[in-house]
Structure 1
Amino acid sequence: MSIPPAPQPLYQTPPSPWSAPPPAPPRRSRIGLIAAIAGGVVLLIVALAATMVLVGMGVENSFPPADSSLTVRPELVDGRFTLNRDDSSTLGLTMQNSWRRSWDAEDIHGIAATYKPEDGERGSLVVTGMYGRFKNTDRMRAHVLADNASKNTQVTVLVKPQDDTPAGSPVHVSCDIVTRKWADGTTLSYPVCAWADGNSWARVADMTRSGSVNLDLKATAKITLEVRTEMRTPIK
């Protein structure tokens, strides 16, 4: 008589938590993955470099060519004012160093000069400016007028900047009226005008007696254009 097989259990016994884990699958080679990552990094660097070159070319091309500069003349406004002091090597250099961080200026040089009226009138005509290559000139013109007061705690603005461009002018001229107070308590109100074009900008302060008495912005705007015409020097 044959022996019948042993009966099968009704359920499978779960594996013991202390039993050995199943063998791990074979590790894949990481050479391909590393190569792919390295290739992606190289492509990203190349793309960024190309973008920076294009941006740099765009910024450079947005500046006008340098075709004129500014020269401190011994006389201005048809001889009405004579040079009293040239501060281009001090104040002009300070402005130049400050403006080197501007995105709107390239190849810049600062000038600063004080002129005395030829007829013996009291006061002076003060010209501060820069030449080089400039863009966004409307914004720059407004900035140099605002900068006149913001950086000098002795100067307050009486009349806000406004457009006083004379008819037929090749560039816009903006003007304001400010008051300055000195350490001895003396105060003076006077008009200030500014122009800005692709190659130069300047701020002209009429601190003469007639300028401070009349406070005529239209007259100072015309003087400012004459100063621009006489100080501009073509670059050959």
Structure 2
Amino acid sequence: MVILAVVGGLVALGVAGSVMRGVEESSGAGYPDAEYTLSLPKTLLIGRYELAHDFSGSEGQKIIDESDGSWNAKVDGAAVAQYSLAGNPTEGSLVVSGMYGRFKEPDRSRNSMMKGASKGEGAEVAVAPQDFHPDGSDGVTVTCEVLTRTQAGTDMTVPVCAWTDANTGASIAELRSSTMTQDPSDVDLDKLAATTLRIRSEMRKPI
């Protein structure tokens, strides 16, 4: 049940609310072509996670509203959702917060997601952000960090990863009952980065 309590906090704090932080400043001219969007499939990771709640109309709209007038991002839509592990949210949840459009500076936007997540109420950085290039990334950088968060008197380990490319970006937080109390230094970020890349491949769709 602690997982259920934390999911709402993650949607409200940096994981869902930080996507557009840091896009106020820009360098360079011209936007890339719009070639991809993000979808919210009924399942992720070959059926391991099932869509439980679609927050695109609420939290996603906040992302779109905050992007209005941004210098280096033109956001066309957002995809924010909670997925439950094998249909059972008490066993585990996946919180996805993404956007799609045209982004001049993917690295800046991705790093802003990580900073935003770490500034959420009750969140502390236990393992600093690290960049990964999993097999098949085709040049896309995945940045991961480990946060700790106290909820209902329980300390939880919350790994978070993010990517941003020319058209899409999202942050991913995975909460598992089997790992939520593990030592942050024991989190396998290489594995989580590869998982994030697979999620990207399942959510990212050509226009």
| TM-score grouping bracket, smaller chain normalisation | 0.7 to 0.9
- Counterpart for residue 52 of structure 2: 84
Which residues of structure 1 form unaligned runs of 5+? 1-57
- Counterpart for residue 145 of structure 2: 176
User: Is the CA contact (8 Å cut-off) linking 2:67 and 2:75 kept in structure 1?
Assistant: no
Report deviation, 1:210: 4.3
Helix, strand or coil: the match of 1:89? coil
Report deviation, 1:111: 1.5
The answer to whether residue 62 in structure 2 is matched with residue 94 in structure 1 is: yes
Helix, strand or coil: the match of 1:198? coil
Helix, strand or coil: the match of 1:73? coil
Q: Which stretch has the larger CA shift, 75-84 or 158-167?
A: 158-167
- Aligned pair count reads 174
- Counterpart for residue 159 of structure 2: 191
Report deviation, 1:119: 7.4
TM-score (norm 2): 0.78
d(CA) in 1 for partners of 2:53, 2:150: 21
The counterpart of 1:126, out of the listed 64, 74, 95, is 95
Using CA pairs below 8 Å that are at least 6 residues apart, which structure has the higher relative contact order? 2
Structure 1 runs (4+) deviating above 3 angstroms are 210-214
The counterpart of 1:222, out of the listed 149, 170, 194, is 194
1:112-150 Cα deviation digits (max 9, x unpaired): 101111175712111001001011111111111111122
Structure richer in helix, relative to its length? 1
The counterpart of 1:115, out of the listed 67, 83, 86, is 83
The two structures, once aligned, show a CA RMSD in angstroms of: 1.7
Partner AA of 1:95 in structure 2: I
Partner AA of 2:86 in structure 1: E
The answer to whether residue 128 in structure 2 is matched with residue 164 in structure 1 is: no
- Over alpha carbons, which structure has the higher Rg? 1
Distance 1:101 1:154, change over 3 A: farther
Helix, strand or coil: the match of 1:124? strand
User: Is the CA contact (8 Å cut-off) linking 1:174 and 1:195 kept in structure 2?
Assistant: yes
Aligned-pair identity in percent equals 39
Partner AA of 1:219 in structure 2: K
TM-score (norm 1): 0.69
